[in-house]
Structure 1
Amino acid sequence: MKSLLTSLLFLLAVSWVGAQNCNVTVNLNPEVNLCAPGSTVFIPVITGNYLDFNWSPATNLSNPDQLITTANVDTTTTYALNINSLSATNLLFNGDFSQGDTGFYSDYIYGTGGGVGLLSNEGQYAIATNAGSTHNQFANCSDHTGGGGMMVVNASGDASNIWCQDIEVNPGSNYHFSAWVTSVVSQNPAQLQFSVNGTLLGSPFNAIPNTCNWRQFSADWSANGVSSATICIANTNFTPAGNDFALDDISFREICTTTASVTVNVTQLEADFAVPTTLCASNLPISPNTFFTSTTTPGGSWQLDGQPVVTFNPATLAPGSHTLVYNVANNNCSTSASASFNLAEPPFAGVPDYFVRCFNAAEGVAINLSDVIQNEDLNGSWQYVSGPTGSSINASTGAFTSMVPGEFQYRYTVSGNGICPDASTVQRFDLYLNPLADLPATETLDCTVPELTLSGANTSTGNNIVYSWFRDNIQLIDQFTRTLFINRGGTYVLEVRDENNNCTARDTTEVVALIDNLSLELGYQAPPCNNINGGSIQINTIQGGTPPFLVSLDGQNFLNTDQFINLGPGNYTVQVQDAGGCEAAASVDLPAPAAPEILLQTTQVGPLTLGGSASITVSSNPPLGLLDTFFWSPILDDNDRVGEKQWIVQPLETTNYQLTVRDANGCETQASILLTVRPEGAVFIPNAISPNEDGSNDRFVFFDQGAIANISSLTVFDRWGAQVYQANNLQANSSEEAWDGTFKGDLLPSGVYIYAAEVEWINGEKSFFQGDISIVR
């Protein structure tokens, strides 16, 4: 690491002045020492007035246009500070016009006077202390310094020199030409320019419109090869209107240069070194100087974790990060660098674990050797060492596969990653083939085969082979041969062991016992009346046994069905047979069909009066609710039914009621009952009325029990045969429109009256009634 040192150069009693009398001193530290490429700040102190300055060289300076600047240096460099100032001697005579109109010449003439003052005319000048005293339109401006005169000018529009003077100069010297100007009228301010030996200098200078406001303008000139000079101030404003101004304090001074220098000495020390980020903890002692780079400055000192060292042994250091520091010093400069490194533990390939593995020849064997060795570092690799061909290993994961037995060796190597030596270990193991145990997967015991012998043709044999049998995970302690006689179900296991290598094989037979008590339950449907061979038998349930089940009605043809159909009346035996050959039987009688029985009864005694009603009660076997169909003739609907087996009828004439019923088997029966009806209905005709509006017997009303459909006409006569009332289409049992014992609105007297009526019955028949009706008041 390179050290960086910033120096501030303050006042030192050092100055350098040239042959000229510049009246300027510069204080600047002449020498600065940096211990590495870096920066330093220059702070020069200047005494006296000066024009400008420059640094040389300007390279590697942060701001060469400023006195105080920063140098950024890589190598030793000397910088010079050049200060330009003006000589104390003004080479012009009477530049402040304190001597009056002398020491200069002009293309203008001195004022000749006129109506507005001394400078009434253009192209004239005057030396005065107040511009207003020379022209009544000029502002009352005093001279620049206030203690002498000034040159007041009423300029013309011609190109002309306002002021000139001849002086001696030093060839090769630089000079500074300056003057002060102010407008004395605001219109059309002056435009002026310096000239030396007839050559204009710089750019024209414009006075401002504000009067009595003095401003300085200047220009520099080099006396290249000449010893004398005619210096002038020229008018470059060619508009005569306005253009009136005053000049004062004209100066022409030699420019002198004062130089001071500073040398920045760079002493470079390099402490950087390159230590590996990781060191192996098993390495031998190390000298830190071996970590030097090509640029490291030798001769320094080392520290490890804050302790001085010349050499160190990583094996003695604690695990983790460590810091190495190198310090180097020279000529009051010093620098240091530090770097950290970690210790890498030496790789460990683990502890092998010899093992023996048995496997089936048809399946091969798969072993992850990385799971066998212990405490090994990960990300190592496996390589074959020895063993039969026909095996393979995944070098990255340690996944080993083989189809052949034998003795094997594989090496596991963990890389030291170029930091530590690689580590390796060898894993040994032996593979043997399992013997063979061969049994059928399943066997069945049933009513046909109630016992059998378990065995397998491929089971291993030999003097070194031992057999063991298990049923439902319980060892059969007296069975040690290749075969086993069985007569019950269960899970049977044969274990075969090779005594030479203790490898074993097992096979399993699931023995299903299909021997069970079997029974069945039958249902039937008797043959119907309309199909004498339409009976059927249903197998409702089968208990016990092993499905699937087959059934037979004749003991020979067994079918996979749950019913037999198209059967006539008779006794039948159904046999069932399960998957194990076990059988059972059950019998059922199919009865012949029988017609239902019905009886019709009524509570009516004798003929019915027209308009009357009667009840018909039905008795049946089976009950009506179990019958499939029944219907009346003539038709009776649900409105006529008043109970489960009772109907109310109101015949208009003598009627024979017939009921037909049919059961679910299609068997049909009929029954009938005759109800006699008189052609006329019962009617009550009162023989007196009392029309006194007491709400009782006030009208002449015919009363019946619904047999009268309409009273077609009713006529009443008094005892002399005169008609006193007549009406048509009256209703029985209604007092509306009935006779109230009046004639033409007048009450009739009490007495006996004669009536005649024609009545239409509900059956369409008509009858005539006549008799006496008395009015009682």
Structure 2
Amino acid sequence: MNKKNYLFVTLQLIVNVWAQNPCGNLDLLTVNDTSLCDGQTLIISAISGFPNYSWSSGSSNELVSISSPGTYTVSTNYTTNNLVTNGDFSSGNTNFNSSYNYSINNLYPEGVYTVTTNPNFVHNGFTGSGEGNFMVVNGSTSPGTQVWCQDIEVQSQSNYDFSSEVTTVAGGNEALLQFSINGEVIGTPFSAPSSIGGWDTFNAMWNSGINTVAEICIINQNIGGGGNDFGLDEITFTTLCESSESIEVSEVEIANATIFPQDSLCETQNSIILGAVDPGGIWSGPGIQNELTGLFSPFNAGPGIHSITYTIEGICGDQNSQNISIVQELSSFISEPSSMCINESEIQLEGLPGIGTWTGTGITNTQDGIFNPTEAILGTNQITYTPFGFCVEQSSVSIDVFDYIVPEAELLHYICFGQQIRLELDDNYLFSEYEWSNGRTNSAIFISDAGEYTLQITDENDCMQDINFNVYPRENCESIIMPNIFTPNQDYINDLFTPIEYEYITAANIRIFNRWGSELYFSSEVEKGWDGNHFSKPCPNGVYFWIINLQTNTGNYQSMNGVVQLVR
């Protein structure tokens, strides 16, 4: 098989395949089933390029305007799948049959044809031209002569369109042509153009019935001489197809994407879900964390005014935008001690910018911020201050509450007049600071007077406490012992009548009498002693009486007496 034959076979196979399924299923519409918005008009478009359109609504346009729901069908007729081989004669004198004789370069006499690009090349009386090769015929006067024939495989029960272009190449009678298939003429005869060189197109429709093979022919019905000279080109035998497609148009209400109004939000506020009238849309804008649910984060958006858009897609969709104001949080501050001792008095905490609510362990008044360490827990107490007002920062602080150290000490003491005692704690090393009520800052003090002595101590946690020492006058601590003899003889030995023991005496006086009761001596300074004289005159030897009146350590008054012998 040569190359040319191989090409022919290939083309013939293609033709056979086309013949089996010439029309196929066509998609005529650019959209599938769709929706019509309530009160709106919808434009439906058919696919461009078809020769005609017929809508069930009565329109014959490619586009149709629809304003009500329903089923709409568009139909079209078209030809496809040209089954003719070499119908444009580009391959020359091949793939067709003719009852006329073929001549390469001479169309004399009548009943001769050729394939050429210029009729004048083969007959000096012929003129005209085409687009490349075409068939030029010097017609005969025999009616029904087969000018051009070709066998075609067809599909049964199918419609076909048989078409050809015709031109006149010489003056005189125009050719009268007609299509025939399987020996039967179809359509009406058609005349070649009356003007030389012009081209007309003619066609006829045919239904294959039960046929699967068709001999298609163009026959010459002109029997007159003088003229009848013509050309053929662009012979086609195409499948005539009908196709339709329907679209279901339903009516849908127009979506409402109106966003519900939103009050101003604080930048530290928790994320919220934005809302709109109709669900199913897409959210966009600063702070949107989830485009499907409308989860909005004021913190991510930041302070300012932000435009949020909600879009419901689709032909009946809607879009709406709303501004959301994000307010910058106002800072707050708590002025408080970092620590307190459990024995300290309650304090009022101070919060800025103003009044608010206080919570936490140790808070006894939530409005005034009263913190009482005795109501708190030992250790760390978390205090929270929430100022009144919109978008004000909540502040928290920690206050450590320490227990104070209870020292061991002898707090009750007794003292005699003139005695000195030491006041101190048993475990001084536990404390860092000391301050006594008498101004001393030692850990211990010596005192000689009864009374209450307060010691303020500070431990390592700066917890202060007062320790009260009570010193009382001791009873019966006074002691006076007088001699029973003295010798005022100027020998500096026992010359004075003075106490042998004189202790813890606050105040005292002494009186001395002779045996007749006369007072010889008085002194408020008992310890100075009596020299045995009365108005500077020596008293005689003898026994003398003495009386001492004294004030006790507790402030009472006592009296004691005795006798003494004066010996010179």
Which protein is bigger by CA-based radius of gyration?
A: 1
- Is the structural similarity TM-score above 0.5? no
Structure 1 length-normalised TM: 0.28
